[in-house]
Every structure is written in structure tokens, then in C-alpha cells.
DNA sequence: AGGGTGATTAGG
DNA sequence: CTAATCACCCTC
């Protein structure tokens, strides 16, 4: 099975690309993860996106070509990874929320302090930790760089569930979260904290 | 339910 | 410069 990974597909609309990433594999430094949960962010059209108010030093890679890794630091301690999608300039991206470790589980266990294997890459920050993805990898090319994305055949729509994104204050109503129905590695839904 | 933690950002 | 915000995780 020598299917060449056509990352050119990532140049499409983020809402089409996001579900296509389910089942794809992400590999880095000895650990491979099969993606089970993602979220779409539509750049300047999307109040929930970091890129909503235009380019900044942090978000500049999202305005670049599709197939690039956008990594950011969350709450001062967590790294989260996104795949940049869409035509250059649209600043859309897909947040990788969870996955199943399919290779290098022993290494992933060393990087994580959890007892259950299903939790190794459960949640966007945990996924990055299991894979050993740091901020320094942001901006790298997912086809040729240290972090490799490999697409798989599209999964049938009836295996995919959709719902609201996790933890957003802006645009919490858009059902732009996609996950594989019944997967134990999918993170629990938590509504955004309410402003007092 | 609450706290840790620091980059990032808008605003003065 | 300041202060608010934050696409989270863990423990209580």
C-alpha cells in the first residue's frame, strides 16, 4: 500500500478538510497517533479563531500555505497543534484535539503521566505531549518536516459525529467539532466558562 | 469547582 | 507600561 499522501487536499475549505483528517496519522519522534477528534477554525470569518482580528506575530503561519503546522502555547503551559488549511491568506486551520496512539506507546507513556492508554493523546495538549511536539516545530511543513501527516482513505460519514467546539467563548454555536463516533480517546465536552 | 502558568494582545 | 485574556489539564 504505497498511497502517496496528497496533502494538496488540505488547500480546500476547512469544513471539508477537518473531517478528512479523522483517521489520518501524525508521526513525530517515535510516536504515531491516529487522529480521532478535530475542530475547524475559519480564520477571519470566525470569532473563535486566533486569526479573527487579522495577522499577528503569533498567528502569521495561519495566513501562509496549507499543510503547515501551527503550534501555540495555551495557558502558559500547554502546546496545541493545528494543521493550516485552505488557500493562502484565508488563515483557516484545524485543531488536533485527540488521537489514538498506534505506534510508540511506550515512549508516549514516558512523556505522559497517566495510567490509561486511552488518555495518552486525549485532549489537544496531551496529544502534543505524547508526540513530543514543542513550540519550536510551529511553521514546519507537515509533508517534509519533522512532524509528518499522512492522510488515509475518507471514512464514511456515518462514523463521524459533529458538535460544538470545546471551551470557546466566541461562536460557541458552530458545530465545527468532528470526531469518530464511539472512540474512547475523544476528549470530554466542556462548555466555555461563563463570564461573571 | 478551582488553580496553576506565561505568552500574547489591545489599550493608555 | 498595564491588565485582561486564553482553542487546557489536573486535583480537589
Closest nt by CA–C1' to A73: B7
* Low-confidence stretches of chain A (pLDDT beneath 70): 1-5, 191-196
| Chain B bases near protein Cβ (<7 Å) | 4-10
Q: Is the CB of A73 under 7 A from strand B?
A: yes
Q: What is the domain count for chain A?
A: 1
Does some domain include residue A56?
A: yes
Residue A2: per-residue pLDDT: 44
Which helix H or strand E contains A77, and what residues bound it? none
Output the nine-digit C-alpha cell for A117: 492508554
A34 and A104 Cβ atoms separated by less than 8 Å:
no
**Rounded Cα gap, residues A72 and A59, in angstroms:** 9
Residue A103: per-residue pLDDT: 97
Segment A98-143, tens digit of pLDDT:
999 999 999 999 999 877 999 999 999 999 999 999 999 999 999 9
Q: What is the CATH number of the domain that holds A57?
A: 3.10.300.10
- How far in angstroms lies nucleotide C5's C1' from the CA of residue A178? 26
Does some domain include residue A189?
A: no
| Chain C bases near protein Cβ (<7 Å) | 5-11
Strand A69-74 relative to strand A78-85, pairing: antiparallel
Q: Is the CB of A76 under 7 A from strand B?
A: yes
Does some domain include residue A31?
A: yes
For residue A114, give Cα distances in angstroms to A110, A122, A129, A134.
9, 11, 12, 20
Residue A1: per-residue pLDDT: 53
Residue A193: per-residue pLDDT: 64
Domain that holds residue A50: 9-180
Report which of residues 66-105 in chain A place their beta carbon less than 7 angstroms from any atom of strand C.
70, 72, 74-78, 80, 82, 93, 95
Nearest one of A81, A86, A74, A85 to A99, comparing CA atoms: A81
- How far in angstroms lies nucleotide C9's C1' from the CA of residue A75? 10
Closest nt by CA–C1' to A92: C7
Residue whose CA is minimally distant from C5 C1': A75
Residues 6+ positions from A62 with CB-CB distance below 8 Å: A43, A50, A51, A55, A70, A82, A84, A91, A92, A93
Output the nine-digit C-alpha cell for A12: 480546500
Output the nine-digit C-alpha cell for A8: 494538496
Residue A58: per-residue pLDDT: 97
Q: Which residue has the cell 498506534?
A: A102
Amino acid at each position: 500500500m504505497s498511497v502517496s499522501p496528497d496533502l494538496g487536499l488540505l488547500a480546500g475549505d476547512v469544513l471539508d478538510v477537518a473531517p478528512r483528517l479523522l483517521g489520518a496519522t501524525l508521526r513525530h519522534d517515535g510516536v504515531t497517533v491516529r487522529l480521532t477528534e478535530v475542530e475547524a477554525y475559519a480564520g477571519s470569518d470566525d470569532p473563535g479563531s486566533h486569526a479573527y482580528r487579522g495577522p499577528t506575530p503569533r498567528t502569521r503561519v495561519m495566513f501562509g500555505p496549507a499543510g503547515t503546522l501551527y503550534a501555540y502555547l495555551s495557558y502558559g503551559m500547554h502546546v496545541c497543534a493545528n494543521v493550516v488549511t485552505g488557500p493562502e491568506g484565508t488563515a483557516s486551520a484545524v485543531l488536533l484535539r485527540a488521537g489514538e496512539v498506534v505506534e510508540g506507546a511506550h515512549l508516549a507513556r514516558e512523556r505522559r503521566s497517566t495510567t490509561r492508554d486511552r488518555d495518552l493523546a486525549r485532549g489537544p495538549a496531551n496529544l502534543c505531549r505524547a508526540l513530543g511536539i514543542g513550540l519550536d516545530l510551529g511553521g514546519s511543513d507537515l509533508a517534509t518536516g519533522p512532524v509528518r501527516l499522512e492522510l488515509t482513505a475518507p471514512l464514511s460519514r456515518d462514523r463521524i459525529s459533529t458538535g460544538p467546539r470545546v471551551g470557546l467563548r466566541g461562536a460557541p454555536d458552530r458545530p465545527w467539532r468532528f470526531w469518530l463516533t464511539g472512540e474512547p480517546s475523544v476528549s470530554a465536552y466542556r462548555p466555555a466558562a461563563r463570564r461573571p
